[in-house]
Amino acid sequence: MNTILYLGTDPSHFLAKGKVIHCPVIRLVPKEKFDGPFLRAWEDLEKYTHIIFTSKNAVHFFFEIGEKIFQKKIALSEKKLLSIGPATSHALERRGYTLFLEAQESTQEGMAASLRHLDLTGSYIFYPRSSQARLHLSSFLVELGVKHQICDLYDTISDLSRSEELSSFVKESDEIIFTSPSTVKAFFEMYGSPPPTKKITVIGPITQEALQKMGR
């Protein structure tokens, strides 16, 4: 049986593919200090016409933080919800929401391409994200000239405390799965380049690009 080392936060989609060793090399840390700009972005929640979600983690922290701020459950029934891809869509659908749009390509570029085909006259877009998010989509919203707010919900940090067990798990595994550029960065910080004997699987073209920049 193939032994898979999964470096992301949720290995559930890979459990049927073999023996899975879950070693999350990143930690997701929600923002705890709600300063002026942060709160101002949330004050307009009722006014937003569209909300863009670019990961299932953004969905999770959006509801967790929003309910902490407003001290009640958030209802988005009148909002147009845009998802970057299937995993994000599933996270929203599990909460009972119907999607307005899912990007055809699960990247910020794919989301931008989808937005370009919409009539956004009079729209007001909310884009909650990771503080480590790439800048392509935020720059595109500025270029598009559409009214919007961006809010960094959480930080993605390398979990350096796992360095020792990561080394052990790499030896045991046949395949290593990188789920995001953050997992690539963390792995190289904690271990270095993956052994050439290991099968490398990446989730998405942006993760592939990050790995190539590291020489793999």
DSSP secondary structure string, 167-211? HHHHHH-SEEEE-SHHHHHHHHHHT-SPPTTSEEEESSHHHHHHH
What average pLDDT score do residues 57-73 get? 93
Q: Does the structure show a pLDDT above 80 at 26?
A: yes
| CATH number of the 3-25+159-213 domain | 3.40.50.10090
Q: What is the pLDDT of residue 210?
A: 95
Express each pLDDT in 128-167 by its tens digit. 999 999 999 999 999 999 999 999 999 999 999 999 999 9
Q: What is the pLDDT of residue 22?
A: 96
Reported CATH class of domain 29-155: alpha beta
Pairing of strands 80-83, 50-53: parallel
CA distance 73 to 66: 8
Domain ranges of the chain: 3-25+159-213, 29-155
pTM of the model: 0.90
Choose among 31, 26, 29: nearest CA to 66. Answer: 31
> Identical fold at 3-25+159-213 and 29-155?
yes
